[in-house]
């Protein structure tokens, strides 16, 4: 058995829990609640919406790449014409 006359209290622990706001997660949760309220627990609508958005983005990316390729080809042809006729 120990006899302690001047016991010092332990320091209080620092408990900081940071708040994090995720706007995308908020939107997803809100959309899930709306779907649950409407009675359509069907996830095919959500999957179809995601698929539609991905296809749209993919189509936009392909169109951008197609335009860039055309520009590069025209530049190459212009350089070839210049070297053939003017050099």
Is residue 76 classed as helix, strand or coil in its secondary structure?
A: helix
CA distance 10 to 32: 47
Of 61 and 6, the one with more pLDDT: 61
Cβ atoms 49, 35 nearer than 8 A: no
- Map out the domains of the chain as residue ranges: 42-87
**Tens-digit pLDDT profile for residues 10-56:** 888 888 877 888 888 888 899 888 877 776 556 677 787 888 889 88
CA 2 to mean position of chain CA atoms: 60
């Amino acid at each position: 058995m120990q006899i302690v006359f001047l016991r010092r209290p332990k320091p209080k622990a620092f408990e900081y829990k940071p708040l994090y706001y995720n706007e995308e997660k908020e939107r997803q949760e809100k959309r899930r609640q709306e779907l649950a309220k409407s009675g359509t627990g069907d996830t095919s609508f959500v999957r179809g919406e995601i698929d539609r958005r991905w296809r749209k983005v993919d189509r936009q990316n392909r169109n951008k790449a197609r335009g860039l390729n055309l520009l590069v080809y025209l530049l190459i042809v212009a350089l070839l014409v210049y070297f053939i006729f003017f050099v």
